Amino acid sequence: MTNTSPITGPNSGDKSRVVIFDTTLRDGEQSPGATMTHDEKLEIAGLLDEMGVDIIEAGFPIASEGDFRAVSEIAERSKNSVICGLARASFKDIDRCAEAVRKAAQPRIHTFIGTSALHRAIPNLTMDEMADKIHETVTHARNLVDNVQWSPMDATRTEWDYLCRVIEIAIKAGATTINIPDTVGYTAPMESADLIRRLIETVPGADEVVFATHCHNDLGMATANALAAVAGGARQIECTINGLGERAGNTALEEVVMALKTRNDIMPWHTGIDTTKIMHISRRVSTVSGFVVQPNKAIVGKNAFAHESGIHQDGMLKNRENFEIMRPEDVGLSGTSLPLGKHSGRAALRDKLEHLGYEVGDNQLKDVFVRFKELADRKKEVFDDDLIALMRTGVDAENDYLKIVSMKVVCGTGGPAESTVEMEIDGKDVTETAEGDGPVDATFKAIRMIYPNTARLQLYQVHAVTEGTDAQATVSVRLEEDGIIATGESANTDTVVASAKAYVNALNRLIVRRGRVGEGADTREISYKDLA
């Protein structure tokens, strides 16, 4: 078999082209606390496809029925991207993965096994036994699809001779991409470049495949290591939106893409990413995952293009290039932040939303316009960030089991806070009153009285969307119950109302996820066991 993909084939004509492999939906979603619903995964996959991501690692099909369904639907819907599924070195995993990506126009199987001494000890395999397993499983995968990626997990801590040996075996067995993971974020940039360079020079057949890099950010060097690997000869970068991922995260897609674009003078490589779509997908991933982007995050942070210092502001007024190496428009930020008000019409709102990266249909615009007017009645001016918060939190779904109907809160220095909450539960209104240590605590207790649950509050965050006493508060809530995690988010000029709606939003998600788990859909028992 031969790989016919013009981008990911082993003998791509453009040697300066760097392939972007996004694993937000797989490695990114494995972040502790990160959760995405089925529909949200499909939405993010569609955005990745539109922005020009070459390969989307859509999930781990053997992990659960939910993962399998998500990968299958993404494969069927994809218009441009290669759709990849992850599989351990197991015939069962690989067969399940092949079935999941079967309907993709360009399917890929990504199979892996831990090759370092530490990781070999987990399945208790000798070097020879593992080498045989690699040959068998990569061969099996290649018999199912033309496009096979193989990864020696913890490659950067694997003995040099053995790493060369197993990579040669994988290439001979039919792998078309060899990924070199820095699984624990241990490598430094000089090592990253040198490792890729030496492997390409040493391993027989290395010039016939694409070498990839997968870096973690445990020491804060994931982006630097990925770019160094490209300098060493890698032509595929594995990354995630916002750097989402386990522990300290993965290489951030937006960082490597914009680094290559901005410093093309010293890094003469390019990608196929439409960078103007970066901000929009960053915001959506932040919303659906429940992971707020830090304000000073490179490229996509709220302060990335903000200038407060007098010297900086003066320099910006005279020439933007004094203190900006990129244009905000390059990553999809609106060039203006003129506010809207209560007299603004639908056409102005639609135009502003389009500048912010949101394409809304007539029905959605009608709903958004109603909520915009409600917000404009409470705020004198509605800024871009207010609209982003409005779009992020959306509206209560019609089929939500729990809905906030009304609230009344009494608090102050004279005694405990008291909150009366009226909720609709499956169409029936229920009201309860509770006292607590502050208005939020009292409100959450009232909600728990209305809908008893054992969910533990893992995270409660409040962020002011804009400045001023009438600013909206965006509240993020993360709940955990019996190992199931769900996040909720809401924005309101009343912090307590936003908190209540975020809490109920998380409860609704928990109800949905708990229902699926009851059917065995989203349980995850991924380990080295049963690799035969």
Q: Does a structural domain hold residue 389?
A: no
| Residue that terminates a domain, selected from 257, 289, 321 | 289
Phi and psi angles of residue 328, each rounded to the nearest 5 degrees, phi first: -55, -35
pTM of the model: 0.80
Residue ranges of alpha helices (H) inside 52-90 are 65-77
pLDDT digits (tens, 9 = 90+) for 59-96: 999 998 989 999 999 999 999 999 999 999 999 999 99
Is 250 among the annotated ligand-binding positions? yes
Residue 223 burial by CB count (10 A; 0-12/13-18/19+): exposed, middle or buried? buried
Q: Are residues 32 and 172 in the same domain?
A: yes
* pLDDT for position 307: 41
13-55 pLDDT, tens digit each: 688 999 999 999 999 888 767 778 888 899 999 999 999 999 9
- At residue 188, what are phi and psi to the nearest 5 degrees? -110, 160
Average pLDDT over residues 213-228: 97
Which residue carries 């995968």 as its tokens?
A: 141
Same domain for 283 and 309, yes or no, is no
**356 and 445 part of one domain:** no
The verdict on 495 and 352 lying in the same domain is: no
Q: Determine the pLDDT at residue 346.
A: 84
Say whether both 106 and 248 belong to one domain. Answer: yes
Alpha carbon distance 308, 135 (integer Å): 58
Question: Cβ atoms within 10 A of the Cβ of 465, count?
Answer: 22
Instruction: Tell me, yes or no, whether 122 lies in a domain.
Output: yes
Same-domain pairing of 173 and 283 = yes
Three-class HEC string of 227-255: HHHHHCCCCEEEEEHHHCCCCCCECEHHH
Within this chain, do residues 197 and 58 fall inside the same structural domain, yes or no?
Answer: yes
Domain of 27, in residue numbers: 19-289
R_g (Cα) of the chain, nearest Å: 25
Closest alpha carbon to 86 in 1, 2, 179, 7: 179
Q: Are the C-beta atoms of residues 147 and 123 closer than 8 Å to each other? A: no
CB-based burial of residue 518 (10 Å sphere; 0-12 exposed, 13-18 middle, 19+ buried)? exposed
- String of DSSP letters for 174-200: T-SEEEEEETTS---HHHHHHHHHHHH
pLDDT class for 324, splitting at 50, 70, 90?
low
Digit-coded pLDDT (tens) for 271-314: 999 999 999 999 889 888 878 888 899 999 878 776 443 443 34
Q: Are 321 and 349 in the same domain?
A: no
Assigned domain for 530 exists: no
Q: Is residue 396 part of a domain?
A: no
Measured at the CA of 332, the angle between CA 328 and CA 337, to 5 degrees, comes to: 65
As given in the structure block, the two tokens for residue 263 are 């410093």
Type and span of the H or E element at 355: helix 346-355
> Which pLDDT value is given to residue 312?
39
**In the numeric block, which tokens belong to residue 215?**
């870096």
According to the annotation, is 27 in a ligand binding site?
yes
**How many structural domains does the chain have?**
4
Residue 440's pLDDT is: 95
| Residue 191 falls inside a structural domain | yes
Q: Please tell me the distance from the alpha carbon of residue 403 to that of residue 422, in angstroms, as a whole number.
A: 9
Count other Cβ atoms within 10 Å, centred on residue 528: 17
Quick check: is 181 in a domain? yes
In this structure, the answer to whether residues 316 and 345 fall within a common structural domain is no
Torsion-angle region of 343 (φ positive above 0: left; ψ -120 to 50: alpha; else: beta): alpha
Left (φ > 0), alpha (ψ -120 to 50) or beta: where does 358 sit? beta
CA atoms within 13 A on the CB side of 391: 25
Is 387 within the bounds of a domain? no
Task: Kindly state the tokens that stand for 78.
Answer: 């994809």
Element (H, E) at 20: strand 19-22
* Residue 10 domain-assigned (yes or no): no
Residues 174 and 322 grouped into a single domain? no
DSSP letter, residue 161:
H
CATH label of the domain that carries residue 273? 3.20.20.70
CA distance 55 to 83: 6
- Domain identity same for 280 and 426: no
- Give the domain CATH number at 484: 3.30.160.270
Quick one: DSSP state of residue 59?
E
From CA 69, how far away is CA 51, in angstroms rounded?
A: 23
Question: Do 252 and 326 belong to one domain?
Answer: no
Q: Is the separation of the CB atoms in 403 and 396 below 8 Å?
A: yes
CA gap 261, 255 in Å, rounded: 10
